[in-house]
Structures are given as structure tokens and as C-alpha cells.
Structure 1
Amino acid sequence: MAEPFLSIQGVKKSFGPTTVVQDFNLDVGSGEFVSFLGPSGCGKTTVLRMVAGFEEPSAGSIHIGGRDITRLKPNQRNVGMVFQAYALFPNLTVAQNVAFGLKVAGVSKADSDRRVAEMLDLIKLPQFGDRYPYQLSGGQQQRVALARALAPKPKVLLLDEPLSALDAKVRVSLRDEIRSIQRELGITTIFVTHDQEEALSISDRIVVMYGGKAEQVGTPFEIYNRPQTRFVANFVGTLNLLEGTVTDASTGAVQVEAQDITLPHKLNGAQTGEAVSLALRPEAITLGPRPENDAVLRGEIAEVHFLGSVIRVRVGVGRSVVSLDTFNNSATPPPTVGQKIEISFSSNDLLVLH
């Protein structure tokens, strides 16, 4: 990465004896869209609030464009923030809401009116300027909140779970719109969410957080396909967990439910007989052997759920149950419960969890 535009270094936050963020480090490039992903209470919103200036770090520093903003007040940082609950002023029209930050900054009425018109065009609500928030849908209110945050031309845009109060269909539409607007403006953006699909679909990079720490930072592809910790593997995507036993660490040989599999790498440091946890994504598994798959496990069909274009199958492999999806084929009937079956996959797709 070139010189970071937003740099968060060694940041810690404690409330009394409780530490909610510990040794958090992140560099964000200019125009980059980074999502903070994690469960409630993991510290992601606290980090966002420290960047915004609503919380002061107990330790560490925050820089934007090379400028130290760690101790500055929120209105001195040139940062725009969009909240989960819209936070629109109910007694102001849409246009007045969007113009609020401009008015506080002392922008002339003519320039403000021009900027408001630009923002309403950007969020595709040009005809809604005279309406009040109560006259808008939730999705429209959140668009207005976004326009209000962007109107003063902030250097960094912060979004704190902005879609969580909306229904599923509106969420998908609005998240794509937010990403499109962010790309158009080229604004550096931090997006907080607990929804993995949201983070995977719109981010340049994802910071997976747990217990006040960054568990892993990477692209959506890296986070999903190469999780570095057990938590990341379990939290992001659906995962099959298989318990194995090392039979030869020097060759990567393990047994899973008394069936032999050879991993594509050595298990350095492992001892023969040692337990090892293996993870496998459902989409990596096929019913029956395939020439390209070097690993096979025998089992029995435990459940079959017909979902239209997809058939969700659960296969009992010894004491374990493995889930996989297969596409519906009108010429081939789905498997039946109790049927003996082989599942196959590439050993390269097995993740060893630590």
C-alpha cells in the first residue's frame, strides 16, 4: 500500500477496568472501502467512534492525511458519519437536513443550495427536498443521512451499521448504492457491520474483530478462503468442522472418522496421534468421486432439503455431519435419506485450524 490516508496505530480503549479495544492497528489507503466485521461487543463501533472523535483513545494515535487528529474534537476532523438510527432532525426538511453541516461551516446560501441539489441528485431523491423525514421510508431516510454526511466534503466517511434497521431487500439495494456512491466520490470509507454477506460483497478489505482485537485483515477472498484463526473460519461463511488424528506429520497424513486423508503440506510440530481440527467449505465438496478431487470420505445421507435451484444435503460421516449444496438437475433425482454415498474434495481446500 502507498502512504496510508487513515492510520490507526496502537489504539486502546478502556472504560474503567474494562478494556474494549486493545492494540488496534490499521492503515487505510486513499479511496479504500474497509469494513469492520464482528459480533456485538467486539469493539468495532468503539474504534469507529474514536476515529470520529466521540471517544478518546486510552492509548495510541489516529492520523488522517498525515495529520494527527487523536485529541481533536469531532468538528475539527473533517469526518462524515452515518448512524444506524438515521439521526435526522424531524423538524427540518430533507434539504435543510442535508444543508445542516454546510450551515454550521458558514457556507453561503447560494453555495449551500447548489451542494444540496448535487447531493439529492447523488442519492436519487432530487424531488424530495421539501419533505420531512416522517414522510420518507427507512431506506430514503438513510439516503438523506448519507447525503448530509457527504455534503461538507469530508476526508473520511464512517458508517455505523447503517443498514441494520432496514428490511432485507432494501438493505441489498442500499448497500450497492452506498458502494457505488463511494466509488464515484473516491472517499476513504470505514463501514461497520455484523453481517458477513454485507462485508464480503462491498469491501476492498475486511477487518474481522473479536474481543477488542483485529483477528485478521484481508480482502474478502482472503478472509473467506484463507481464515487465519478458528474464530474467523467459524464467523465468516458456513463451515464444516472435522476432527482428525495425525498419523504421519512428515507427510501430512491424518485420519478422519477412521478414514485416511493426506494434506498437501507437512504438519510441522505435530505428533503422531495428536488431534487436529480441519475445516471445509460446503461449496468445496461434491457428491461422488471426481477426477480432480484427491480426498474421499464415505458416509450416509442424513438430510435432503430441496430449495429449487439448489439441493442442500447433510451427510453423516461417522460421528460428524458434513453439509454441502448441489445444483438441481431435472434429469437426476436427488439422493435419498439413508443412501450410502461418497463425498469428495480437494485436500487443498482443507484448512487446519489452530
Structure 2
Amino acid sequence: MSFLTISHLEKSFGATRVVKDFNLDIEKGEFISLLGPSGCGKTTVLRMVAGFETPSAGSITIDGREVSSLKPNQRNIGMVFQAYALFPNLTVAQNVGFGLKVQGVPAREIAPRVAEMLSLIGLPEMGERYPYQLSGGQQQRVALARALAPKPQVLLLDEPLSALDAKVRVSLRNEIRAIQKELGITTIFVTHDQEEALSMSDRIVVMHQGIADQIGTPFEIYNTPATRFVAGFVGTLTTVQAQVIDGPSGHVKIGGNEIWLYREVTGSEVTLGLRPEMLRVGPADFNAGEAALAGTILDVDFLGSVIRLRVDLGGEVLAVDLFNTTRAAPPQVGERVSLALHPSDALVIGA
């Protein structure tokens, strides 16, 4: 039996259905990300689990107890918000111990728990400081410690990294994941950042217009998207129209290039999805089953460790990634290039 079960959850604001028949089973200690664009319903789902919103329909069960009708403080849930929401008039130690104090935990037990939490987040010497004396990343660490101090059954994270700069975000997301693994706490993380979801999660729920479009591991979500929305939203994906020459063998034509997909396709035209890393610049290795494509470079973007090319195949344009190297200059606009593609990598995009 799952530790946290969300069954047929719905939420409407007036005539607008924001969340539609949402179902999710979460195992104890699992890290789940709700990923999607603004307005897709992910934060509304999180707020219903927290108790800040009342479901229009459905149920939420935590460790065998139905909690939909309970108040937030009756659910044993810790929550970290995008805004740190620290009390400015309290010290770091007082902020971390606030939930314990509200629960009526004796002061002699609060102090060691606060010290334990400050050590866990790497700020053992900062207990007497005030929030304004900390950086944004440090304040978010304190908010995390405050949420974890009462030993909640479930941790909810509502875009906690979005207000931080890029380097701090990467560092803090690694720390959050390490702490979550160490404590083994069941966690739901809301984000619109694909890289965060892919790097941190055991499983990802990709949401679109109030619906869970796909639930799967990061590997599954990225490599085998179930819908056109998931394919286009997660990662960089170029879609091209291929003319079907022979459906049963997957013989298709992309621009001026013919390849075999070695799987059956239907209709006179099929939409293929190709990620930049699926293509390799250089002659195809036919013994390895690669197909050859030829095109002209339209654009070259230097992105540091990666160089992204846009290659015209004769009316269809593909994005292609190369690793940067100091030993060779990047290709030039207008240059003719040969590309190699393994047909099994190409995604056939359905409706």
C-alpha cells in the first residue's frame, strides 16, 4: 500500500476546473516532482495536500489516514515556500524551533533539535543571527530546517529555488536532495524548471491544463514522452514532418534525406521528434545501424560546454549539439555537414 495516495482529486474555482481527476500513489521516502508551466494546477494540488485548499472532489490519504477534511496543522506536514516566510523579529534558532514551540515541546528538547537541524543544513554557527543577516540561499536553508524540525511525515516544497540565482539554485537543490535521502522523508516538489525536476526526482508528474499528462522516472519522461505536450515541454525537441514512403518498414523522407525507422508508421506523413543529442556530426556508421542525413548549417550558438547547430536538411531544420573542444574551431554558417542518427532514437510523436 502506498504511503501517500491521491485519488480522483479535483478542484474548481467557480466554473473553472483547475485540477481534473488527478491520481497519484507515492511510496514512503519517495521524491516526487510536479512539473509544468504556470497555471497547469501543480501548486493547487500541493496546496490541497497541505490543507490550504479544499478539494472539490477526491481524497488524500497519508499513512492510511484520510486527511482531506483535516486542518493543515493536523496533517503532520512540513512546507517550504518560494518566499522564505521567516519571522524577521526572530533569530535563526527561534525560527527553526518555532513549530516545536507551537506543538508544546519542552524548551530542553527544542534546543538540541534546533542544533541538529542547523548542523543538517550546514549553518551550525548561525543560530543567533537574524534573517536579514543571511543570504537568500541561507534563508531558504533555514526555512527547510524549520519545516523539518517537527519531524513531519511529508515535506512539501513549493518552488523553493525560483528566487535564487543560478549557482545557488544548483548547489541548494543538491543539498535538499541529499537531506531528503538522509532523512528518508516523503517529498513533493513543485517546479516549472525541467532541469530541477530531472536531476532531483525519483519520479516526475508532468501536468498540463489540470491533468497529469505523464507520470514516470526522469529517464522515462525524457526518453519516452507519452504525449505531444510532454515531448515538447521536457528538454529541447525539434519536430519535423517526414513523408512516409513505405509504412510497414518505416521508410520515410526528411527534407531531401531518406531513412528507415525499422518500425511501422501509418498515414502519408509522420511527425518525428529529435533531440539535439540524438544527432552526431560525421559520417554514419552503417554497421552500427546508423542512418545518414546531409544538410547545411544555418546557425551556430556557442553555449560554453555545448555548441548548438541549426541544420537545414532541405526544408526541415534540426538542432544538433556538439561538445565544445579547444582542439577544433566550431563549424561555420553555410558549411555542409553529414549527420548520423540511430533510427531507434527518433521519437514518433502522436496526437
Which of these residues, 225, 240, 243, is aligned with residue 242 of structure 1? 240
Q: For 1:207, give the aligned amino acid.
A: V
Is the Cα contact below 8 Å between 2:77 and 2:154 reproduced in 1?
yes
Please list, as runs of the form range in 1=range in 2, the aligned pairs for 1:341-352 lying within 5 A after superposition. Answer: 341-352=337-348
Residue 305 of structure 1: SS of its match in structure 2?
Answer: strand
Aligned to 1:278: 272
2:92 is aligned, of 88, 91, 94, to 94
Q: Which residue in the other structure is 1:30 paired with? A: 28
Tell me by how many angstroms 1:258 deviates: 4.0
User: Equivalents in 2 of 1:120, 1:135: separation in Å?
Assistant: 16
Compute the displacement of 1:332 (Å): 4.2
Match status 1:53 vs 2:51: yes
State whether residues 93 and 130 of structure 1, in contact with CA within 8 Å, keep that contact through their aligned partners in structure 2.
Answer: yes
Question: Residue 208 of structure 1 contacts residue 217 of structure 1 at CA under 8 Å; is this kept in 2?
Answer: yes
Greater alpha carbon shift after TM alignment, 257-266 vs 34-43: 257-266
Contact 1:293–1:344 at 8 Å: present in 2 too?
A: no
1:183 to 181, 196, 216: 181
Structure 1: 5+ residue runs without aligned partners? none
Question: What amino acid sits opposite 2:156 in the alignment?
Answer: L
Whether contact under 8 Å (2:97, 2:149) holds in the other structure is yes
Matches within 5 A, 1:211-290: 211-267=209-265, 270-271=266-267, 273=268, 275-290=269-284
Amino acid in the other structure paired with 2:19: V
Separation of aligned partners in 1, 2:303 and 2:34: 32
- How far 1:328 moved relative to its partner? 3.5
TM-score for the superposition, normalised by structure 1:
0.95
Number of residues of Structure 1 aligned to a counterpart in Structure 2 = 348
Distance 2:159 2:304 in 1: 32
Q: Which residue among 327, 331, 339 is the counterpart of 2:335?
A: 339
Structure 2 counterpart SS, 1:128: coil
**What whole-Å deviation, never above 9, does each CA across 1:39-58 have from its counterpart, x for those lacking one?**
00000000000000000110
**Cα distance in structure 2, aligned partners of 1:92 and 1:309:** 44
SS of structure 2 residue aligned to 1:126: coil
2:290 is equivalent to residue 294 of structure 1? yes
Task: Name the residue aligned to 2:319.
Answer: 323
- 3-state SS, counterpart of residue 334 of structure 2: coil
Residue identity in the other structure for 2:172:
L
Which of 121-130 and 32-41 deviates more? 121-130
Letter of the structure 1 residue corresponding to residue 102 of structure 2: V
Output the CA distance in 2 between the equivalents of 1:332 and 1:309: 13
CA distance in 2, matches of 1:351, 1:39: 22
Q: How does 1:42-81 map to 2 (within 5 A)?
A: 42-81=40-79
Distance 2:278 2:110 in 1: 54
Mapped partners of 2:32, 2:187: distance in 1: 6
Stretch moving more, 309-318 or 98-107: 309-318
- CA–CA distance in structure 2, aligned partners of residues 265 and 13 of structure 1: 41
What is the identity, as a one-letter code, of the residue corresponding to 1:281? R
2:10 is aligned with 1:16: no
- What's the % identity of the aligned pairs? 65
Amino acid at match of 1:280: L
How big is the shift at 1:293?
A: 4.7
Q: Residue 311 of structure 1: CA displacement?
A: 2.7
Shift of 1:330: 4.6
